[in-house]
Structure 1
Amino acid sequence: NSFKWGDGTPCFVFSSLFGYNVKNIAEAVSHEAGHTVGLRHQSTYDGACFKTSEYNWGQGTGEIGWAPIMGAGYNQNMTVWHNGPNSFGCASIQSDLDVVTSSYNGFGYRTDDNGNNFAAATSLSFDGSGQFTINGVVERTTDMDYYEFTLSEFGNFTLDAIPYNVGTGNAGSDLDMNVVIYDQYFNALGTYNPGNQMSSLIDTILSAGTYYISVNGDGNMYATEYGSLGSYSLQAGFIDGTLLPIQDLRLNGIADQNLHNLEWSILADEPISQLTILYSTDGRQFKTLVNLSPDKRNYSWFFNENKSIQYRIMATLETGRKEYSNTIILRSGSFTKPTLIGNQVRSSLSVNSPGDYQFQVLDYNGRS
């Protein structure tokens, strides 16, 4: 509780003891600063309320592997304020956010930087190169940030939603981002929240009109949304569809057990020198699977890992410019229910189906 002593007593973290590792230094600074504003350790207990560890070491792996800041987060990527039993006992539940923002400390949450509804949405404008960048903060568990932008013509819209981090793979981020895009009638067109990543990516075709984006902190399979807070950036781009050298590059695919069959169609106004099939197993880094001649329209290969894999096509024009198809997701092994192929819908739908089914297409209002 030294923050309230009023005599400038410092709290020390020695960077050299962490080998000058930026992420681990940040963990220690956050943890020790928590003690100065009244927080105890977040601990773990068994079913009989016997303390199994003074520090809660969290759970999970990868980018969304989680641990409490007031536990021990050095071995996990996502470390957040937590609501759980502290070191006093299994029945002593410590809500970190309530303690930090209490009247005892004399400060509360940051002022909300963006509106929490469509009417109060922050208006965004594209610059001369068809881009915009804005930074925001999810201040509270209940915070929703809304943005509005307008397109004057049909074209390709992309958005990178990136939480503040201190390294690759969103190292040390506290915010698992959930991003939704809406049309001018406030209908949700798509929700973007990759299950194993903290950042989100939108890559879609939009018609002329007004659109909205909402951003909030979400939970995942390891952590609740309680402490999913923090700063983020939105980096958007738009290319006028009437200026696209490739009018349409559409990828479809079907997984037949471990055999992945890909096919695509191309409508181009300029010569293509090469096609490249790209794949990703983490949804973030795409690698080259194979380079093909521009006349090819299908490719098959065996993928023997039992995990989801994303595909997209990169078309390299003779001018050197590169254009990309939609992204599709396939999974090896058998499937038991129909699955929509791809994340973009234009003039047709493609479904991966294990048998004969009847389908009905409905809009958001339930109309067929």
Structure 2
Amino acid sequence: GPTPYGCNNIQDNLSIIISQNGFGYRADDYSNDININPQMFSIAGNTVSGIISTNTDKDAFNFSLAQNAIIHMDIKPFSVNVNDQGANLDIKMSLYNSARELIKTFDPANSMSVVVDTVLNAGEYYMLIDGAGNSNVTNYGSLGSYSISSSTGTVLAVNNILLAGKPDKKLHSLNWKINADEPVKLTEVQSSAGGVHFKTVASFSNATSSFSYRPAETEDLYYRIKVISLQNQTYYSNTIKLKSSPSNNIFTVSTFIQNEITVASTQKYQYLLSDINGRAIARGNAQVGTNKVNMSNMPGGIYVLHLVSSNNDQQTERIIKQ
């Protein structure tokens, strides 16, 4: 650097120190080249120490990720304070992919440390630690010890699932949007009468994003979407509540009987009574109000009653005779 003889009189102080005092540089701890025997280390909760001993020294490292992961890394110079006070090394870190192509250089202008928070795909990576210059000094004297502490976190395969829906006459219509970083293995539509115990209504292995059906339940229903990723991780959407459609049945029928079927109707109608094999047993016409179909001479079993109103509204009921 500049000498007492003038700011433009440059002197290589490092060379003078090692040539006139009977000692040299400390032995290099790591390779300078990511292509030649880089130091392997585990990035999950690992700590590594090193030293940049000359202004041409660099330290090469190699790590692998078995799956996509969130990476956090702190590379700090030796200092007497958490704010890098007393540090002599201004750190620069260069990150490379498996093809040894530069991904990014981390060299913050306002800090001598490097902090990395990023998401990396599964694969092999290399990094090169170097002493850097800054607005105050060149990289000539950026020397000293450092430590690398690192950790990983799991990347969520599914980031968000948003479910919406509405009653559509007698149907419940649902649609959803899945924000995922990888293909989804299985999607399930689940319902619950009380919002606690859910059952599967439908499942899809493709990219379906909507579903409509007529629920058998007459009460209001809660819905949610269950998603299973390719890594067999399970995720759930928000829960919504849809009101059931009011019953539009024109006929009220007693279906568990001993001697007669009772039918209450708001319209005139025709009826057809059949056995379980579809053979007609009785048919007729009935008026508005309550009417009865005699079954006293019929054996116990299951029967089918088909009703057709004067407005051509139809209803079919299963009758069980004791």
Give the TM-score normalised by structure 2: 0.47
Q: Higher helix proportion, which one? A: 1
Give the TM-score normalised by structure 1: 0.41
Q: Higher strand proportion, which one? A: 2
